[in-house]
Structure 1
């Protein structure tokens, strides 16, 4: 008897059960039965592990959405079952065409808060910080305009955004590269709380600025050094940093802002005074490690940075931290935990957080179903609340959860700018027309002042000059408020510096139009004054005629 084994796809050499004909027939029957089952099982397995055809569709969706929204570059990572199942870069990382990869670091904005929260929880587990202890135990000089309220603020209140510190607090520090964390926190002495301590939620970057300074005081390290030593390095996040420059950890993606609807690469912005609130940088691949850490009880690749109980605490909403509507996110239920939102987003139960710095934006999601994703985009938009990122993220979240993408019901950035550009053009044309027609107006000025009703015509001309002088002066005086007004909500204080950082195109337009109108008004006023002076001047006496005879 031949005892050679039967190999699938190889020669059949046994005569068992009557010879090779029987074996061949059995092989055909088994293959015929199993093949359809394997084909049916493949999509289910792909969906279960977040890989395969479903991710191909995600890739197609991201690429198409980027093209539709004119997004320069993006990166995506998807995790499942404690591993990265997909990581990819799309588009360009800068104005020179450098391609985005999964290792390209991006500014991640307020996603930084999840790092700050975990770092504070590490100190809690070390026994050096207590969640319910007052902040003054660690920063004795900490105060607000209401000293009694400041004394009742705990570490937990800061983490949950229930301290009563208003969301507008510290807005001046958002664009001041000279301010430190301590400068930002000390400036809160002039800020009055806008609600009772611990009673309700109000998102405020200042809360996490205080936590960053607390972390520095307790650990005797800078925020960037602590995060690198105790979080980034243990988790093998080799393309992440909390410093102004990457210090050898990869070339940062260049952020973009929209100028009248066109994304333009702009210089990087790093604010030390808010580093713990929104100025950490990370790559998509590194954020995959970060998501796995949170989804696997504080561990990545055998290294633990926090206990499972600590992770659970970070993800649990605090009392009074129920969250109202969030621009750009369809969010229901849940609340604010510690550096994370909870509840359904775009119809998917999840723990998540987004971030942006007007030049870049990010979204991290950990779904109840067991998958996680991080999306990074190197463009930001003040007028529509980072609409391109919100649009892309909503579709990716739903696709990964086995749902179809649905419109957010908000205008796209392209539509918003088309409308805005039309409005600006309609306001610009009369100003330009007034400048172009100024010589013609002057040529007819004397005739208008001397015919018909001279008094009435003079009054109307003076009023026109007054409007052309006062209107641009008022526009320039109110410029920051006018430029920042289109946003739905903002913590930016109205200043020219903040307006320039947020909407440089509107600031340029407002300054140019106001300047032209002011120049026209000044020229018209000078010409009118000269003509009126000429009218008041007595006509020279003509010498008497002499008889030549």
Structure 2
């Protein structure tokens, strides 16, 4: 019996040793895999920052129920390094927080999703009777019938100073569409929702978010502001930038009332907690959490999220955040439980594909190859520099040769030439209307156009100046020869 026991113990020992041999390499491989993933990820982010002249980034990644990675890249203008605890404006990523606050009050029976918004404000007497048909769901889904054209947002001067003030705008506004019929992204929809939260909760919007969203999730460094002026006055927030011919130019964010749709400031570490909260129902009942992540009736825009399916059929929720000197991107794969949020210290730019950062990081995590695009800010802005220089040289050469062509100058040729030459001037002056037509109806102010496409505006200005100078010379020559 003793011999049998010794043999059993010997066999068990051998088995444990064998398992330990196999287990140790597996654990080491996992550690090496994560280390390799993080190395590739850092290389990818740093390379893309360099290629797009972005000076500062804050990154948060969650995977399954864990915080996979948080890190800051770059540094403040005055020296300190950006870290995972550096606060960044998240702009329109704030809308999902506002939607969550509304749904919490729905769960408490204080708000009904399909009730008219005006029913919560009996003193509101709109001239357009259709305003009374706008429901809370319409506001959440951006189908209220309000647009930037009928109710200026970014182009309004002076800007609103309070939620109550913007609520009064519903008295005189005339809707662009009947409520519930057409999607139109419009920030004030979420300002009305923020005011609704204040009305039914009895708290300011910022206090409500802190006590009912930020604190329960442990987001201790996240807060809400009402105006971009508060971003400028906070020294803990890195200074924002816009890109001029690809190079970052430090600039204070223009004045903008953002309470509700875009007022939250957060860190990578806190955004990781927010993304993890999307996988369970800590802050909402399961059925409302499902609605929170569901597309709207008029498209993918639901309740503060774009709710879609990727190429593999996985459910995703995402949103972009846009300021003129800051940018943010967030995507969460609900099925794979993979969340990525990136905050940038530079704003919307025509030549920077900010979403490529998120796509590339996701590919690296999935062990796929992520390559930087050839069409980066660096290459595109180099083209714009050459285009500006070439236009100036071409203009000077064309003007110098006008006298050689005076014999063939006729009134008909002059008129045709004038039409073609004045086209760049017309395009330059019509930029707000042109961008609105291709930008889902968003009407941008000139400061926004400048920060978004400064090199294109400079080229159009140089081309317009060259053409106007050329036309003046040709008209003068035409009348001199008559």
| Length-normalised TM-score, structure 1 | 0.71
Pairing 1:370–2:337 present: yes
Rounded Cα–Cα distance in structure 1 between residues aligned with 2:31 and 2:150:
49
CA contact (8 A) 2:252 2:325 kept: no
Residue among 310, 330, 337 paired with 2:302: 337
SS of corresponding position for 1:75: strand
**In the alignment, which residue of structure 2 is the partner of 1:216?**
198
CA distance in 1, matches of 2:43, 2:417: 58
In 2, Cα distance between equivalents of 1:338 and 1:158: 9
Q: Could you report, residue by residue, the CA deviation over 1:254-307 in whole angstroms, capped at 9, with x for unpaired residues?
A: 2222222333322223511x3312232211111112122332322xxxxxx544
- Cα distance change of structure 1 residues 30 and 122 upon mapping to structure 2, 3 Å threshold: closer
Q: In structure 1, the residue corresponding to 2:57 is in which secondary structure?
A: strand
Q: Relative to 1, partners in 2 of residues 1:483 and 1:122: Cα closer, same or farther, differing over 3 Å?
A: closer
1: CA distance, partners of 2:387 / 2:57? 31
Residue equivalent to 2:53? 70
* 1:365-392 deviation line (CA, Å, top 9, x unaligned): 33212332322122233425x51x2111
SS at match of 2:197: helix
The residue that corresponds to 1:297 in the other structure is: 281
Structure possessing the higher radius of gyration over alpha carbons: 1
d(CA) in 1 for partners of 2:347, 2:151: 21
The partner residue of 2:315 within 329, 349, 358 is: 349
Q: Aligned partners of 1:495 and 1:250: how far apart in 2?
A: 26
Cα gap change, 1:160 to 1:219, in 2 (>3 Å):
same
8 A Cα contact 2:70 2:84, kept in partner: yes
Question: 1:151-181: CA deviations, max 9, x gaps?
Answer: 2221012112233434755444357563234
Counterparts of 1:177 and 1:405 in 2: how far apart (Å)? 48
Q: State the 1:135 CA deviation.
A: 0.6
Residues 1:132 and 2:99 aligned together? no
2:299 aligned residue (319, 322, 331): 322
The corresponding residue for 1:493 is 443
Aligned to 2:457: 507
Alignment deviations for residues 337-372 of structure 1 (CA, whole Å, 9 cap, x no partner): 311222334655322222222332222233212332
State the shift of 1:112 in Å: 0.8
Alpha-carbon offset, residue 394 of structure 1: 0.5
The DSSP-based 3-state class of the residue aligned with 1:278 is coil
Match of 2:74 among 87, 91, 109: 91
Which 5+ residue runs of structure 1 have no aligned equivalent?
A: 1-15, 299-304, 324-335, 536-549
SS class of match (1:61): helix
Q: Secondary structure of the residue that 1:275 maps to in structure 2?
A: coil
**Cα deviation code 1:221-242 (max 9, x no counterpart):** 4433433343334433333232
Deviations 1:16-48 (A, max 9, x none): 969xxx98x99788545522333125545888x
Aligned residues of 2:44 and 2:372 also touching (Cα < 8 A):
no
3-state DSSP class of the match of 1:88?
A: strand
Q: Deviations over 1:96-117 (max 9, x none)?
A: 4542111112221211101111
Q: Output one character per residue of 1:37-78: Cα deviation in whole Å (capped at 9) or x when no partner.
A: 33125545888xxx5543343333322332333322211122
Any residues of structure 2 matched to 1:92-111 within 5 Å, and which?
A: 92=75, 94-111=76-93
Report the counterpart of residue 265 of structure 2 in structure 1: 281
Does 2:395 align with 1:431? yes
Q: Distance in 1 between matches of 2:288 and 2:265?
A: 24
Aligned to 1:391: 356
Gap change, CA 1:375 and 1:475, over 3 Å in 2: same
Are residues 434 and 215 of structure 1, via their aligned partners in 2, closer, same or farther at CA, if it must alter by over 3 Å?
farther
| Per-residue deviation, residues 297-350 of structure 1 (Å, max 9, x unmatched) | 22xxxxxx54444433312334x1432xxxxxxxxxxxx331122233465532
8 Å CA contact retained: 1:394, 1:405: no
Aligned length in residues: 469
Residue 461 (structure 2) pairs with residue 479 (structure 1): no
Contact 2:51 2:376 in 1 (8 A): no
RMSD of aligned Cα (Å): 4.2
Higher relative contact order at CA 8 Å, sep ≥6: structure 1 or structure 2? Answer: 2
In the TM superposition, what are the counterparts of 1:44-193 in structure 2 within 5 Å?
52-80=35-63, 82-92=65-75, 94-140=76-122, 147-166=128-147, 170-173=151-154, 176=157, 178-180=159-161, 181-187=163-169, 189-193=172-176
